[in-house]
Structure 1
Amino acid sequence: MKKKISKICAVLLIIALGSMETGWRLFNMMICCKRGARKKERKKWFELSHIRENHPQNGYAEEYNESKEWCFAQKMQDCYIRSTDGLKLHGFYLPAENAKRFVILSHGYRGSRFGTMSFMAKYLHEHQCNLLFMEQRCCGDSEGKYITFGAMEQWDVQQWAIYVSERNKEKLPVYLYGQSMGASAVLMASGHTLPPEVKGLIADCGFHSMEGQMQDMAANWFHLPHIPLLLMEMDWFCSLLAGFHMKDADTTEAMKKNTRPVLFFHGEKDTYVYPHNSFQNYMLCKAPKKLVIVPGARHLCSAYADPALYQNTMMQFFEKYD
């Protein structure tokens, strides 16, 4: 009898350890910062079809590369802030002639300041917008060990808004423009105190919550329809090592509190962050709002798929709330 109990305990222990190992691997893959050689290893392992298919380089490589090269060719000013948890964060400032407004650009998950933001950055600069390119924590020249899916990035957005406001001597309107995770961070930041110059938010393909995004990825990428234990373990590692809970990366409360107008964009064919996320954020939002679903567009491809619709809608938004 004792041997049987011992065997059962051993099996349960192996299962528990295996489950914890899976939770750790998910945390390490999704949350931990990967730079240099380790980043190349992660990219090779994690280069799934959903990522390749949704990237603007798939179908819009010429426009993507041209606008990215344009950004690198500009003479930008280095900017630095200190995050609320002590990290030194980096950004670039690009002034425009006869500027009418400031736009703070918040890039997506493991992105860069001159990646998918470049296409619209070029257009905005040509239309009299001063630009502040954020480099999210753990990306580019910004410090950080962990990507928190908006839990901490929302406070970074707030700090950058304050930074711009303090240097905005002419009191020009300020807009927060985010893509993907950067869009979610912008939406979450709207639940906090922002400078009065911030007139509106633009959220392109933002997710509703980290937990929901993890569930969507598990179900549709890895075909794991129900993973509560795995998410619980991941949340434990997030809390123990990275200092946040998954519930902290959620737009719900911010959308209920926010009073600033919000312009939502989402690609109809997005399989990276599914369109239902923007529908959910739109329904929760109590402020003036508009939702644009771009037919046929994939993740972060709306501006490429229908430039006229995207650009005209954004300019109308500026003109209405400037």
Structure 2
Amino acid sequence: MIGILGAAAAGVVALGGTGLAAAGNALFDLALNPRAPRSILARAGAGASAGVDTAVFAGDPARREARLWFDEAKRPVELPLADGGVLHGWRVLAPGVVPSPDGGRDDGASTDDLHRYLILCHGYSGRPSDLAREARAAHAAGFSVLLPAARGHERNADRYATMGCLDARDLVGWARLVASFDPRARIALYGVSMGGAEVMMASGLDLPDQVRCIVEDCGYTSAWDECEVQMGQLLHLPARPLLDAADAVCRARAGFSLREASAVEGVRRARVPMLFIHGSADDFVPFGMLDRVFEACASPVRERAVFEGAGHGACSYADPARYAALVGGFLDRHL
């Protein structure tokens, strides 16, 4: 993120006011265009950089073991889009769930009677397998798991990344896909960092009735807010006019606005129970953002949990037993 913003800021300094459009395009390509050779997403896809949101996972033996399980167990799944294209993801059906030839669930052959599904959403510059540990634990507890790749990530690198904005709309489609597979499904949404912002944005959309609850971990209030924070903390530069230029490029090239990518606005229309998690030492997605999304949440059931001393995306490492009990208990109560 430092390199992205630094390159864009350097463009403004070098080109002056007339260079704002060029700097906005440079920032967009570096941050959100996986087809730009020097972008952080292209580097992450090539293995050259794990990115901020995935750095905490490096070197974790349990996660490496879970990835081996995931690589063997996962099966591809596609979400058709209105424009005729598809988005790609992975799923692992729960033990006892048997798919029918027509693409649904064969209730006659299936022995599973829980009908529980968990959709897991990864962070910026990451990939679905970053959440393999969570997927494996959920699968062991009787869940079928679905792990979509966000736009601009992994097998969806033919599209621009949207910081959760269009991904949230896609998430509604993924939930409807699960509901069409199993009309009796009881679905939970779970996301970390950008994925946390994504599930919050989706909370205010027209989710199917099968979605019963949502868990977000260290999601930001909006893409604009997060970029503004990084520019101030890391570069000591004012957000404007650079972010205005980048936002104009986002609207023109990718069909979304950094301001529109707002978790705060999403949760204002939330209807299902929501659990908000954040580490008190998170300075990448500042801890204060937790208060803003929690207070804005309109759900009649909302809970929050703070993990003291935990950095960005590290709550499940700060106290694994508490984290597992917290999330597991919430899912059990609402599914």
Is 1:166 paired with 2:180? yes
* CA 92–86 in structure 1, closer or farther in 2 if over 3 Å, else same: same
1:87–1:144 Cα contact (<8 Å) kept:
no
Q: Deviations over 1:70-114 (max 9, x none)?
A: 21132x221111234544111111112246310011111121110
Q: SS at 1:216's partner residue? A: helix
| Shift of residue 18, structure 1, vs aligned partner | 3.4
Whichever residue aligns with residue 57 of structure 2, its letter is Q
Tell me how far apart the structure 2 counterparts of residues 73 and 301 of structure 1 sit (CA, whole Å): 26
Q: SS at 2:16's partner residue? A: helix
Matches within 5 A, 1:288-299: 288-299=301-312
Aligned to 1:303: 316
Aligned to 2:119: 104
Aligned to 1:140: 154
Aligned to 2:10: none
Tell me how far apart the structure 2 counterparts of residues 123 and 51 of structure 1 sit (CA, whole Å): 24
Q: SS at 2:61's partner residue? A: helix
Tell me how far apart the structure 1 counterparts of residues 84 and 125 of structure 2 sit (CA, whole Å): 20
* Structure of larger gyration radius: 1
Aligned to 2:287: 275
Tell me how far apart the structure 2 counterparts of residues 205 and 152 of structure 1 sit (CA, whole Å): 19
Is 1:21 paired with 2:22? yes
* CA 72–218 in structure 1, closer or farther in 2 if over 3 Å, else same: same
Tell me how far apart the structure 1 counterparts of residues 80 and 124 of structure 2 sit (CA, whole Å): 20
Tell me how far apart the structure 2 counterparts of residues 153 and 271 of structure 1 sit (CA, whole Å): 24
Aligned to 2:332: 319
Aligned with 1:187 (options 200, 210, 217): 200
* CA 86–300 in structure 1, closer or farther in 2 if over 3 Å, else same: farther
* CA 69–296 in structure 1, closer or farther in 2 if over 3 Å, else same: farther
Tell me how far apart the structure 2 counterparts of residues 276 and 86 of structure 1 sit (CA, whole Å): 41
Matches within 5 A, 1:1-322: 14-34=15-35, 42=43, 51=52, 55-57=55-57, 61-74=60-73, 76-97=74-95, 98=112, 100=114, 101-115=116-130, 117-142=131-156, 144-169=158-183, 171-224=184-237, 226-287=238-299, 288-322=301-335
* CA 231–93 in structure 1, closer or farther in 2 if over 3 Å, else same: same
2:29–2:36 Cα contact (<8 Å) kept:
no
| Shift of residue 314, structure 1, vs aligned partner | 1.2
Tell me how far apart the structure 1 counterparts of residues 193 and 128 of structure 2 sit (CA, whole Å): 13
Whichever residue aligns with residue 106 of structure 1, its letter is C
Tell me how far apart the structure 1 counterparts of residues 232 and 240 of structure 2 sit (CA, whole Å): 12
Tell me how far apart the structure 2 counterparts of residues 14 and 174 of structure 1 sit (CA, whole Å): 50
| Shift of residue 14, structure 1, vs aligned partner | 4.9
Where do 5+ consecutive residues of structure 1 fail to align? 1-11
Tell me how far apart the structure 2 counterparts of residues 146 and 279 of structure 1 sit (CA, whole Å): 30
Q: What is the TM-score normalised by the length of structure 2?
A: 0.83
Q: What is the TM-score normalised by the length of structure 1?
A: 0.86
1:87–1:143 Cα contact (<8 Å) kept:
no
Q: SS at 1:196's partner residue? A: coil
Tell me how far apart the structure 2 counterparts of residues 62 and 314 of structure 1 sit (CA, whole Å): 22
* CA 25–319 in structure 1, closer or farther in 2 if over 3 Å, else same: same
Q: How many residues end up aligned between the 2 structures?
A: 303
2:41–2:153 Cα contact (<8 Å) kept:
no
Tell me how far apart the structure 1 counterparts of residues 310 and 52 of structure 2 sit (CA, whole Å): 14
Tell me how far apart the structure 2 counterparts of residues 126 and 219 of structure 1 sit (CA, whole Å): 43
Percent identical among aligned pairs is 26
